[in-house]
Each structure stands twice: as structure tokens, then as C-alpha cells.
Structure 1
Amino acid sequence: MKYPSIYSAQTIILYCEKFGFKNIVISPGSRNAPLAIGFASNKNFNCYSIVDERSAGFFALGVSQQTKTPTILVCTSGSALLNYFPAVSEAYYSNIPLIVISADRPSYKVNIGDGQTIVQQGVFKNAILDSSSLALDPKHNFKEIIKSNKQKILPKKFTEKTLEAEQKKTQALNEKIINSLFTKAISESLPVHLNAPFEEPLYNFKSTPSVKINTVIKNSIKKTSNTFLSNSLLKKYSRIMILVGCSDANVLSENLKNKISQFNNIVVLKETTSNLRHDSFFGKIDQIIAPIELSTHRDKIFEKLKPELLITIGGMIISKKIKTMLRNHRPLSHIHLGKYGSKDTFYTGVKHFKVEPSYFFDKTLDVFKCNSNYKSEWENLSKLRKESHKNYLSKVKFCDLKVFSKISEIIPENYSVQVSNSSAIRYMQLFDQNPSSNFNCNRGTSGIDGSTSTAIGASIGSKSPTLLISGDLSFLYDSNGLWNSFTEKSFRIIIINNSGGGIFKILPGYLNDKIHEKFIETRHNFSAKQLAKMHGFKYIQASSSFGLKFAFLNFFKSSSRPKILEIFTDSSLSAKVLENYFLNLKKS
């Protein structure tokens, strides 16, 4: 093992060991060489080299998404750090822990014309849990430090004893900063930023550390008292809706799901990314709600469907339809369950109970019991929609809707599925999914910019084979995500290529003219074929129902290379089919 001679760099590595962090994502540079070499030469860490920092950030996010532990990001100074911002903001709004460690030049070399230098402290500002800059080690090349007329680290005149005292004080401060940031990342499951200024020389190393760090002290997490047990908010309601956003499959126990399903006054709406599976719960939310929006009696119907009490679980809600419904027809009360993610999405005010949902319902479920036909209102609609959905699909031509229906049917058991943003995740929400597979999507900021990198990171962090389902723009945008040497052979990508942002054709206000086509939809003629070849993926394509059926035959079978299946569809036809789909459901 090689330990950098810079004390603060040593300290960072030693604390990462103490905290048990395993996965380190390193982007190239010189200023971060003490950390890069120190981490890479240490067998306690799994190190991944990714050149593009934007891609590296999303890769790390994917790893943390699956492992539920912080992944370390290490970059050099300057604009390299800024490229992490999209992934950091996604992590912040999705409650995913990341630890960003940026190497920096000493403060006295910032804003004086030194190369590759920006003000790095605080760059993430509104999208970070906390950030701090370490103090520069006074003992490391103190002769260079005192040359500066701007440095405030050492007095003009000092003794060796003074130098030792300053280094000891700096070491104690840096340990406190590192310990605090690392603890916060774990306890709050959010990104933090540690900025580390290093003076040259950067490439001196030792076989054993020269600093001895103090014992790691992890801050205790405050427990929330169970005041909800006697709260008047939880008195009997005749109409209760449990709405589940992005979460893990175990967010509710099987026993509890079965128990909740017996309540006629409780409706459970679940999104694809909730990973919640139960036959009596309602998925495909838009399939139920969207046709009502087209009805002249929509307000009357929505008043019947709206809850008195709304209980939310998990992260971001994808369905714009349910958000619109609950904002226009508001519940009397809204409570959110879970350690993280309380948001007043529906304009009612929200009460946050920081307890596990299973624990909450174990203690309170019987309070909610009463006679009601609330659930049957939803069941009747859902049953009608299912029949219309099935009949319509059997008649449509090859298009996006047909393709997503087929994809949903063929996803194998126990897959980790990553879905890109925009139309891909919205189409997936219209279909039942394999109950043994887990589904994730970057819904924190809902950008298309890092889906591929996130998926490849997730494949490293997951114990299951991984499938990415992506639109063409999202895939092309993040094609650097394929630029690495550790993509799993079992990794699969399905691209639905409708030659642009097909979603914009189905949004209100779309005009079928040259301006929309060029600047909104961004029409193109690109294919993933050459990218697949360049990055060593096996490439398959399909543009018909027969071709798709043939492509699926061997797509998920074991292979010596990862695979890309690119499916070409007509965006104009797809938009028309989807529009008619909801009109057809309205008739049911």
C-alpha cells in the first residue's frame, strides 16, 4: 500500500477505511494524485476509473442506489468538480448518499491567475447536505507556503515547535471535519462535499501512514417519539389513500400488505418505481385517471375518488395525473411516512412521521377501520380500464405503446431494471411489471442526462443482472456512460429510438411545425450501432413486431459481451396511438 506524504490526504484515506467505505470512483488528474494512488493501492477499496466526471458522478450514484452506502467520488481541481453537479443534485433530491472529495490548490493560489483553479468551496450550495474545506497542512512544504504574500497559515517568523503545534491543530480540525461529513452522509442518506487543498509535491508516498487518526465517532441519530399514536389526525377516516413513490420492495411487509388489502376504506396506489407488489393495490395510475380528465363529469368523479386522508411513502411521484387530481381535489390531511422525503407536493400541508411505514401501520392500522365503499370505487374503474387496455393493445400497429407492452412481458425474473426519464418511464407505468424485479429511475431531478451511467453503476452495486430501458435522446446524451472497462457481461440495454423527443408530441401545446421539430423534439437520424461497436457491445435492432419477437429470443441469454437492442418506431404514429389509447379508455 502507498500512503501519500500529505497528512490530510492520508487522513481522508484512513477515515474511509475506518468507516468501511468500499467503492471509490476516480477521475484522472494531477492535484488528486495523492488520493487516487492512495486509494488504488489499497486492497480495502474497489476503485473505478472514469474519465468523464459527469458520467462518473452518475455511475457513483448508481452504485450507492443499490448498496445504500456512500460511494466516494474523487476528482482534480478546477472545472472537473462542476461536472459532478447533475449527479449531486439527483442524489440530493433522491436521498442517495455520495461523498464528493475534490482536490484543490491552496487558498492563496486561488484567484491569482494560477491554472486549473476556481473557488471550489460551496459550488454545490443548494443541492448538498453539507460541505467543508480541509485546512492546508502547514508541515507539508512549508517553504512554499511562506513564499505567498496572501497565505494566513503560518506567521512570518516561526519555530519548529510552532510548526508542530500548528500541524497538530490542523490535524485535529481536519479529523473533526471529515468525521462530521462522513457521518452526515450516512445518517441522512444525502451527498456531502469535502474539499481538500494540497500543496506540491503531490507524488511522494510512504509504505505506512505517518498519522494516527482518532476513533471514529458516529453521531447518534435522533429518534422520533411516537406521538402519532394519540394524534387526533389519525381518527377514523372513511377514505384513505396510500400513495407510494420511489422505494424498495420491502417498504411494507407481506403480512402488512395482506392486512391493508382487507380494508375497504383504504386504497393503495403504487408507481412502477415503488417496487411494491400486491394484487389488490393499484398500479398503472395514469391508466385509471387520464381518461377521467377527458370527461365532462371529471370534477364529480374526482370528488368520489379523492381521499380524506392521504398517506405518502417513498420518494418522488412520477404521475402528473395523480398530482393534478390531488391538487385540484385536495385531501383533508396529508402525512408522510419514512425517515426522508417529506414534501408538500399536494398543497395541503404535510405532517412528517419519521418512522418506518411498516412500524407505523403495525401500531395504527386498526384505528383506520370503518365501513366504506371507497376501495370499490377504484376497483370498478380499474377493472373497466384493464379490459379496454387489453382490447386496444391487440389492435394497434407497431409503435411505442406496443413496444413497451412487449418489453414489460419479457423482463426476466430477478432483474434490476433502470428506466430513463421522459417517455420511457411514463410508458412503463401503463403496464404490469415482473413482480420479482426492481425498478429504478432518476426521479430526483427527472433529467435524461445520466441514465446510462447510473445503470452501469447500479449493475456494479447490484447482485442482480441489470437492464436499462432508454429513449434515444437519453441514451445518446449519456453515451460516455459506456466508456469504461468494467461493464458486466450480463448488462443489457433496450433503446426505443423514435428519432427524437417523442414525448413532446404527446404533451399539451405541441405544434407540428419546423420549430418544434428542430428545437423541442430535436429530430435526428442517429443510431446506437457504431457506439455499440466502439464499446464492445453486441448490437441487435428491430423495427417490426416480428423483428422484435425474434430479437427477444436470445437477448437475455448468457453472452461474452453486454448487449444493446435498438428498436425503431415512428414518433408520429406513436403519439397518435397514445392519444387514441386514452380516448378509448374513456369509453370504458
Structure 2
Amino acid sequence: MDDFHNLFKIFLAHGIYDVVISPGSRNAPLIKAFVEHENFNLHSIADERSAGFFALGRSLHSKRATILCCTSGSALLNYAPAVAEAFYQGVSLIILSADRPEDLIDQGEGQTIRQLGVYGGMIKWEAEIRVQELSRRSMNERLINEAVLHSEAGKPGPVHLNVPLDEPLYGIAKVEERQPQIIAQTDYQTKVGPSSLERLSHVWKTSERPMLVIGQSDEAWLGLENLKQQHPGLVIMTESLSNTEEIGTVAYLDRVFMPEMELVAPDLVIYLGGHVISKKIKAYLRALPDLKVWRVHREDYLQDTFGALTEDLRLADSEFIRILTSFEPKANSDFSASWHHLNEKTLELHQEFINRLTYSDLWVFNQILSTPMQDSVLHFANSTAVRYAQLFERPPGVRYYANRGTSGIDGCSSTAVGFASRSEKNNLLITGDIAFLYDLNALWNEAFPPNLKIVLINNGGGGIFRFIHGPEKVPQYQRFMETHHKISAEHLAKAFGLNYFKSENQEEWQSHWDLFQACDGATILEIVTPRAENAEILRDYFNFLKK
């Protein structure tokens, strides 16, 4: 048998140190090799679904791949939700799955499934390492190099290495030390050729109403200020998860867009960053006739989000911003003025409504996001929490994160735990009750980060099903869609050793919020809000903005 101890030196040579191990027996030789190396950061998480999202959180922070190691059988199926999120959000993961030998597949052997291809089209690359064939030593080394390079090249994403292992799994003698082959790679940088540059420049020059839409991103957005100064007539639309400087942009799209409004439509839309949360802007742009759309991205596939794609630009965002800044300046126009006026007017109405707001989800979000949190990180669970964040200014010096690759409620807490475990900053997770309960094993972590605190907004069910139109027409929707419940987190917090506070009204809020902030270590603040009133207040809010 080849020696994993030497093979895993390749990960270290590439600067891959984070390893999340899901305990098992078939992966014992892999665990042994990781433990033998002092330079790996090892984490043991029994629940594979939680482990997958924990690894995702660590990769989000480090911007490098994290290794997930599991036993054979259904174990790697439980990584699938995190794998899908990593694929669509663009996060590096390396799944290392132990397996039975090929001759035992489909033969009634325990913990044995068809593991190759299990993730379908949701991974960038996949291969199988056969360590018990010494003739494949060079190939095995190449495959581990490839796994790292594929996971981080272009748009990052998950890769899968499957490792069939025959018994014995324990007591295997270590082979002699050797230095495996290390393969470096210089990622290509796509350049826009002269003919393409001329075509883009012409479309830009003839456009009278250009709009830039920025989706989810953790970019530093270097050059964006220069772009604003060069093109004051360019309307820049951002969301809370864009993490951009909001001065000079039209932010908080769900606050600005109202179906009945007559808006001055763009004739050119340029789309940067990841997924856009707002359904309103997507519906608005999809309905526009004669629209041109440029998509700037590093995907391996076309992405025509607004149904009017004319240019598919495989470029880094910073490179495209540099190119756009060099184009003929766009002066202020009635188009840009109308959008900025709408943004300002909506902000005035928003503030007027907030000033007379009563205790509710919306009131709670206003209180939290009005609190100074300089140099902190906020994580939002799907689906209601991240949508409420769309309505409020992002506190200065704060970065926002949420799992918007697939936008599921699974793993929101585990991702925040993984991120915070690598972060030196204060981290705050804002979650609803259903997302919190669904990912409860996020709290089952041997080294739960003390710098993570959780605000749990408990409105007794999936509140989003009271906000959107339609669910109330389904028989027993409260049971089968809203998932109404009466569960409190008090004893759950105690079981996992977390501090706990609870607020059920406006009077209790302030004292408990102050205690929550001052408390040392991991803490949960459960805020109980009125289930029925929340939806009514939010509907009143949007109706008020229509003025």
C-alpha cells in the first residue's frame, strides 16, 4: 500500500491546512495520516451535513480549500447540500471519501454505495486514488495536485477524491519518508481582445441609460470609486450582500422596487458578482423589451439571469471595472437622476415608517442593525432573515455573509460556526427559528467559537410563508408549509453549554440586548416576536413605500 503520510504532503505544499474529519472506520488510514502531520488544522464533526457547511465557512474566511474526510456509504451523501452551496457560491472544498474495493460494490456489503459520480454536476472535478496499487504512485500524486488546482482555479468550487480501501485498515506499517511530486499552476488571466474591446466600447458609447448590478460578493471592489467618478451617469445597484460602499449607489433593492412604479428603464445592464437576492429586480429586468445585458463572471457555463444576455465576459470583476473606467465618460442624466431621487425618497419614507414601528420582526431588525458594530461580521440565515437585511443600511465597517448559492436553510448556522472558528473578529449570526432548529447540530462542536453569538428570532414557524402570496390558499399550510411550532431554545442552549437570554417584548429587549452584547463567550439571544402581526406590519411597510 502506498503511504498517505507522504501523499498528504502535497496538500501542505499547496498551503492547504484545514481538515474537517467526519469520524468513521473505513477512513481510518486517512485520519491516521492527517494526525501524523502537525501542520494540519484538524476538526472532528460527527454530523456530516453540519461538517460540510462548517468546512464551507472556513473556506469562506480563508479563501482557500478545506478538506472534508469521511467514511464510505451514506456519509458522503450528507455532504451534498454543502457541496451544492459551494459549487454555486464559488467556494473551494476537497471531499476525500473512503470507499470499499470495487469488487464489493452492489454485492450486499455494509456502508457501500456507488460513490463515484454521487455529486453529479455539482462538482468541478472528480477522480479515484488507488493507493493499494504501487504502480499508480505517480498518478496518485498527480491526482492530489489536480484536486487542489481544480478546486481553486477560475471560479473556485468543490472537487471529489474517492479512495477505495481494502482491509486491513489498522496497524499498517508506515513506508519510508519521501518527497512527492508538487505541481504548481499559474492561473490564466483572460484579456479582452481589440475587436471585443471595440465592440463593447461602441455599445457603451451608444447606451443612454446604463445600469450596473452587483450581486453577492466578498470582493474589496478596488476601482469602484474611480468608476463612479468617471461615469456619474451610470446607475449602480447594490444589495446588502454586495458588501460595497453605498455612497453614490442605489442600494436596498427590495426597498426601492415597487411593482406599480413607473421607472426610467435601463437600455444596458452590466451584472457583476454572485447571486442577486431581490426577486423584484429580476422580475423587472426580465420584463423589459430591447434590453442588452453583459454578464461578467468566471463560471464554466452561461448565466442569463435576466433573459437578455448579449455579452458573456469571463473576466475578474476588478479587470472589468478597469476596462469600463477607461471607456468614454457617462455624464449625469435624467436616467441617473431619477433613480437617485427614488432612492432618496424611499429612504425618507422608510425612516418615517420605522419611527412609528411597534414590536415585530421589522422592529427587531432595525434595533440590531442600528447598533454600532465596527469591524464585525454578520451572518444571515435563509430565508426571512437575509431578506429583512435587504431593507436596512449595513452598519459601517461590517461585512455580510449568507448561503445564497442555493439559498437553502440547511447549514446556515454551521457555516457561521466554521467562519467564526477562523476569524479573529466578533461574529453575529441572525437566524429564524426554522433555520436554527434545522441545523441544530451546528452547536454540537467540540470547539464552538467563543467569538460567535446568535440572535434567534422565534416567530413560531417559517414566517416567509405569511409574507408571500399563495401559501394561505393551500389546505393546512400552517402545518405543512409554515411549520408552526412552540419550541424554545432555552434548554437547547443549556444542553450545548451556551449562554442564553430571552426577550419577549419591547421592554425586555433593551436590557437583554445589553446583557447579550456584554456576555463573554458563545451566547444565544432568543427574541420571540408576534407571529401573525409580523406579516401585517411588513405588508403595511411596503404599502407605505408605494407613496
Q: Where on the TM-score scale, by shorter chain, does this alignment land: which range?
A: over 0.9
Q: Does structure 1 conserve the Cα–Cα contact (< 8 Å) formed by 2:454 and 2:525?
A: yes
State yes or no: 1:79 paired with 2:74: yes
User: What does 1:308-457 align with in structure 2 at a 5 Å threshold?
Assistant: 308-330=267-289, 332-340=291-299, 343-371=303-331, 372-410=333-371, 412-457=373-418
In 2, Cα distance between equivalents of 1:364 and 1:382: 24
In 2, Cα distance between equivalents of 1:330 and 1:193: 43
In 1, Cα distance between equivalents of 2:71 and 2:116: 14
Q: CA deviation at 1:462?
A: 2.4
What's the secondary structure of 2:20's corresponding residue?
strand
Gaps of 5+ in 2: none
State yes or no: 1:574 paired with 2:534: yes
Residue by residue over 1:436-481, the C-alpha shift from the partner in whole angstroms, topping out at 9 and shown as x without a partner, is: 1110110010000100100000102323221111010000000000
Pick from 85, 92, 109: which aligns with 1:90?
A: 85
Q: CA deviation at 1:355?
A: 2.8
In 2, Cα distance between equivalents of 1:404 and 1:367: 41
User: What does 1:246-257 align with in structure 2 at a 5 Å threshold?
Assistant: 246-253=216-223, 256-257=224-225
Q: Which amino acid aligns with 1:333?
A: K
Aligned residue in 2 for 1:180: 146
Q: Which amino acid aligns with 1:269?
A: M
Q: Which amino acid aligns with 1:312?
A: Y
In 1, Cα distance between equivalents of 2:275 and 2:176: 44
Pick from 487, 496, 507: which aligns with 1:535?
A: 496
Aligned residue in 1 for 2:266: 307
Pick from 159, 164, 167: which aligns with 1:197?
A: 164
Q: Does structure 1 conserve the Cα–Cα contact (< 8 Å) formed by 2:227 and 2:321?
A: no
Aligned residue in 1 for 2:31: 36
1:211–1:411 distance in 2 versus 1, CA, 3 Å? same
Q: Which amino acid aligns with 2:123?
A: I
Q: Which amino acid aligns with 2:281?
A: I
Pick from 50, 53, 74: which aligns with 1:55?
A: 50
In 1, Cα distance between equivalents of 2:61 and 2:514: 29
Residue by residue over 1:16-51, the C-alpha shift from the partner in whole angstroms, topping out at 9 and shown as x without a partner, is: 122221100001101101111221231110000000
Bigger mean CA offset, 191-200 vs 223-232 = 223-232
Q: Which amino acid aligns with 2:191?
A: S
* Matched residues, number: 540
In 1, Cα distance between equivalents of 2:130 and 2:38: 28
Q: Which amino acid aligns with 2:236?
A: V
1:265–1:209 distance in 2 versus 1, CA, 3 Å? farther
Pick from 439, 442, 445: which aligns with 1:481?
A: 442
RMSD: 1.9
Aligned residue in 2 for 1:224: 190
Aligned residue in 1 for 2:208: 238
State yes or no: 1:27 paired with 2:32: no
In 1, Cα distance between equivalents of 2:290 and 2:240: 23
In 1, Cα distance between equivalents of 2:220 and 2:109: 52
State yes or no: 1:287 paired with 2:247: no
Pick from 96, 105, 109: which aligns with 2:104?
A: 109
Q: CA deviation at 1:340?
A: 4.2
Pick from 106, 114, 118: which aligns with 2:113?
A: 118
In 1, Cα distance between equivalents of 2:295 and 2:305: 11
Provide the TM-score with structure 1 as the length reference.
0.88
Q: Which amino acid aligns with 1:46?
A: N
1:529–1:330 distance in 2 versus 1, CA, 3 Å? farther
Q: CA deviation at 1:262?
A: 6.0
1:400–1:350 distance in 2 versus 1, CA, 3 Å? farther
Bigger mean CA offset, 68-77 vs 507-516 = 507-516
In 2, Cα distance between equivalents of 1:265 and 1:7: 63
Q: CA deviation at 1:99?
A: 0.2
Q: CA deviation at 1:249?
A: 4.6
Highest CA radius of gyration, 1 or 2?
1
Q: Which amino acid aligns with 1:327?
A: R
Gaps of 5+ in 1: 1-5, 139-166
Q: Which amino acid aligns with 1:246?
A: Q
Q: Percent identity?
A: 36
1:519–1:209 distance in 2 versus 1, CA, 3 Å? farther
Q: Does structure 1 conserve the Cα–Cα contact (< 8 Å) formed by 2:234 and 2:330?
A: no
Residue by residue over 1:503-527, the C-alpha shift from the partner in whole angstroms, topping out at 9 and shown as x without a partner, is: 0011111327760110010100001
In 2, Cα distance between equivalents of 1:75 and 1:274: 34
1:502–1:259 distance in 2 versus 1, CA, 3 Å? same
Q: CA deviation at 1:210?
A: 4.8
